[in-house]
Every structure is written in structure tokens, then in C-alpha cells.
Amino acid sequence: MVAGGGGAAAKMGEEKLIIRSEKVRFIDILSLLLLRRPITSYHFVEAGDATAGDLDSTPGEWFVALTEIIQKVLAAAYYPAKYLGIAVEFLLNFVSLNGGLLGIVWNIFRCKLVIPLNREAPNFRSMIAMIDGRTELKPMKPAAATGVDEDLESGGCADDAPLIRQQYIDGEHLLGVQYSISEVTVMAAKIAYENAAYIENVVNNVWKFNFVGFYSCWNKFIGSDTTQAFVMTERAEDAAVIMVAFRGTEPFNMQDWSTDINLSWLDMGAMGHVHVGFLKALGLQEVDGKDAARAFPRDPPATAAPRGKIAAYYKLRDVVRDQLKKHQNARVVVTGHSLGGALAAAFPALLAFHGEADVLARLAAVHTYGQPRVGDATFAGYFATAASTAVRVVYRYDIVPRVPFDIPKVAEFRHGGACVYYDGWYAGRTLAAGEDAPNKNYFNPKYVLSMYGNAWGDLFKGMFLWVKEGKDYREGAVSIVFRAAGLLFPGLASHSPRDYVNAIRLGRVAPKEA
């Protein structure tokens, strides 16, 4: 099951393409658009010798220029977006925790006004939770409890994928409910955006599962803890499932968005060409060396991080190892939405790269939602071997699964593995292996009418879905306003975890065509 085994780590990774966006000038963008010089001739590009030779006759693609324009906009918006996010989340929590505008007046009168100053409190919600505040899991129907994920049966789930079961005593009777892997993974990917106390409360008190820990991990290139994930089991003793959920792209974090669209890649030997930003988020040690094993060593160097800090890959690998020893019958499930989906895909690939056969042998599923591309075709094949039961879910014209752009020969980012694509109001179909969702690089003009039509349709249907499906699908003002943003930037609102949760719960996937 280990793609390449331990020998993969010893293979040299000699090539790279690093685009230093901070060095790109306006004149460079004009040159990319008008003069179309080879991309490797620019001062902001670092390339290996063979890469430079391959691209010597390749003119600068307009997609490269577009990427750098977006990067400049994101860089300029970093601080305004950061402080806007703090203000918006404070205001929304202030209104929510006081019971609305009338509640604020009443609490002022009673001298019990709640001021949400502690962003780490269990009742503080991020923008994601304001868009979709649901925390309860939806049990599987008893008739569907066959051992196969009902909603994604045609999406590539393994027949032996474990169901997550919850047992409890009601009087003298031992009762139980069970949840599909897709239900729990999509909800875990959603709550991963919240703070540690919020997540622990939901896992322990709402889901009645066992919270193992929340981990905020070190990125040596940024110099701070930028990667977050949590681990849980469905029960404290003799668990069947160990789940790792990575936090995704935060709405007001322009650094996260910049990482998603960056075109830089690094040759990781048998793994193929892999997105540098995602590798950095997990624990990459260097981008300048020619040895893939040294770039991402099996064990972190002693000086890799300040005392008490550790990169996400190494920390989570240690936690999973410990949990597998504790729970002898458990299997591992990995999930994430957006950037978290990319990290969820890169994590088992790195386990394979380092020959972690014992861990991979107990990998049950990798489910990602709105995941960006992680590497080239070689990586896609490598990942598919390491995680044969992986399922990637894409909703409508969600922009994130369409980045980084696939630009032959400059940056050939590809999706791989099984993909369930929802191209209607939670009507899905299974794409062929390696097939991209329509409008693969997002900016194809032939899809403009369809994208805006989807945005309008989702806005109106979102407002009235509860009439048919019940109160759990009633959307609040924040969600409706976010959907309205899709009228300006189609594909943005489609990235909301709300639609991914709804798709898993309400969607039906057409059988694969013969």
C-alpha cells in the first residue's frame, strides 16, 4: 500500500519552480502579458537546471500574469481583511451571544451585556460557523446501514469503510446510532475552522465522541503557527476510527488564499512535483536543496523549530501512531475543506514518502471538500496508490478546486482520484479518474452565463430550501449575504462548507456510466 515504500524518500528531487511573488513588479506583469518572455528569464523565478531548459522556449502564460495580479491584490488586502474580519466576527458574536438586537437592549438594562472579547471561548464562532452554525450529526437511516456510504456510494468509498457508531444507554436498553464517514468528515472539516474549546465542546458534548487534541503547528517559512488540525476518536476506549481534520482557508486570511493559488512547486522525487505552499504548511525544511529527503526529512531536524514548536506533519504523525497503539482495531480517516483538503491529501502522500507502511495499512479513507490541486499527474497517481479510497467532493463552480491553475508546461497541477461533482442543486455525478470539473481553470469565458446562473439559483434556492427540507436547512442573514457575494464573484459562495454539508445530506450521485 505504500507508494514507493521507504526508497521513495531516498530518490533525488532535483527540480523546482519557485515564483517569488513579493519580487514581482508591475512592469514584470506587463512583460508576461505583452512580451511573453520565457518564465524562467524573470528575476523573480528560481528554477532547477532541467526545469529552466524545459521552459526555455515556453513563453510566459497569461495565467501566470493573472496569478501574480491576484497575489498583489491579496497582499495589499492582508491587513485590511485581517482587521475587517476581527471587527465582523466581533460584531456577529456580540449580536448572537446577546440574543439579537432586542437582547442587547435587554441585557444593557439588566447590566448583563455579553462582550465577546475572548476569541478562544467555546461559544465564540468564526465566520464559517456564522454562515452555518449546525453542529449536530445526521444519523444514517437504519435501512441504509449496510457498511457502504449511502451518499457517496458511487464516489469511490471502500466497501469496508467503517461506519462511525455511537452507543448509549436509555433506561435498561443499549441503543445506538451510526453515521456515514462522509457525514462525519464533512462536519469535522467544517468545525475545524473553530477554536480549540469550541471543537472540544462539539466533539465531546454534541457528538458524544472523544476529543483527542487540537494542534496549532509551526511553519518555519512564515515563522508562526499557521497550520491547525484536530484529532478525535468515536469513543475513548477500543475506538474503531481515528479522525484527523485539517483547518481550511479562513475567509479573512489573505495569506491562506495566496497559498491556494501560488504556482510554485518542488520536485519531491517519486512523489512528483508538489505545491510548495502546502509542503511548507506541513513541515517542509528547505526549498533550495536538491535532495527531496533533505527537503522533507523523515524526522524533523533538532533545530527545525523553536523549543516547544513542531511542524504539522510530524506532530500529527506522532499523535496518529500513539492512537493506533491505544486502539488496536482502529482505522484512520483524514479530512479537510479547502486548504485543509489539500493538507489532508498531502499528509498520507508524505506518510508513503517516508515508508510509514504500518500507518498506511490502517488508512480507511481520505475525504476532502473543495480541495485545491496539490501536485502534478505523478503526485496524483502517487496519492491514489497511498490512499486508494480517497474521495474528493466539488460543489458547482467553487473556485478553490480550480486553483492553482493547470498551466502546461509551467505548472502542471492536476487533480487525481475519485471525484464527486455536484453540478445541480445537490445532484451529483462521479467523474472519471483524473477528470476535472467543468471550467477547470475558472476563467474560461464560455462558462460565464452558467456561473452567474448558478449564483442566482443558489441564492434563491438557499432562501427557501427549509420549506421543503425542514428547519435544519433554514439559512440566516449571514449565509444569505455570503451567497449574494456570489453574484459579484461567482464561485466564491459555492466554496461555503454549508453547501458541502447539504450535498452530503441531500445529494444523490448518479451511478457511474459503463
* pLDDT level of residue 13 (50, 70, 90 thresholds): low
Q: 444: how many CB neighbours lie within 10 A of its CB? A: 12
DSSP tag of 327: -
Over the Cα atoms of the chain, what is R_g?
23
Nearby residues of 11 by Cβ (< 8 Å), 6 or more positions away: 4, 269, 270, 292, 293
pLDDT (tens digit, 9 = 90+) per residue, 337-363? 999 999 999 999 999 999 999 999 999
Assess contact for 209 and 236: CB atoms under 8 A.
no
Q: What cell does 249 get? A: 482557508
Domain membership flag for residue 293:
yes
Domain membership flag for residue 85:
no
* pLDDT level of residue 174 (50, 70, 90 thresholds): low
Closest residue by Cα to residue 6 from 312, 333, 351: 351
Q: Taking the complete model, does pTM exceed 0.85, yes or no?
A: yes
Give the active site residues. 338, 398, 495
Domain membership flag for residue 128:
yes
Domain membership flag for residue 96:
no
Question: How many domains does the structure of the chain reveal?
Answer: 1
* pLDDT level of residue 88 (50, 70, 90 thresholds): very high
pLDDT (tens digit, 9 = 90+) per residue, 394-438? 999 999 999 999 998 899 999 988 899 998 889 999 998 778 899
Upper half-sphere CA count for residue 210 (Cβ side, 13 Å): 17
Domain membership flag for residue 109:
no
Domain membership flag for residue 110:
no
Closest residue by Cα to residue 369 from 184, 207, 510: 184
pLDDT (tens digit, 9 = 90+) per residue, 156-173? 343 345 567 766 556 665
Domain membership flag for residue 105:
no
Tell me the residue range of the domain where 472 lies: 5-76+118-510
Peptide bond between residue 309 and the one before it cis (omega within 30 degrees of 0)? no
pLDDT (tens digit, 9 = 90+) per residue, 30-72? 998 888 888 889 999 999 888 888 887 776 678 999 999 999 9
CATH code, domain with 434: 3.40.50.1820
As a whole number, mean pLDDT of residues 165-194 equals 82
Q: How do beta strands 508-510 and 164-170 pair? A: unpaired
Q: Phi-psi category of 180—alpha, beta or left, where left has phi over 0 and alpha has psi -120 to 50?
A: beta
pLDDT (tens digit, 9 = 90+) per residue, 122-155? 999 999 999 999 999 999 876 443 333 444 333 3
Closest residue by Cα to residue 413 from 366, 444, 369, 378: 378
Mean pLDDT over the full length of the chain? 89
Domain membership flag for residue 358:
yes
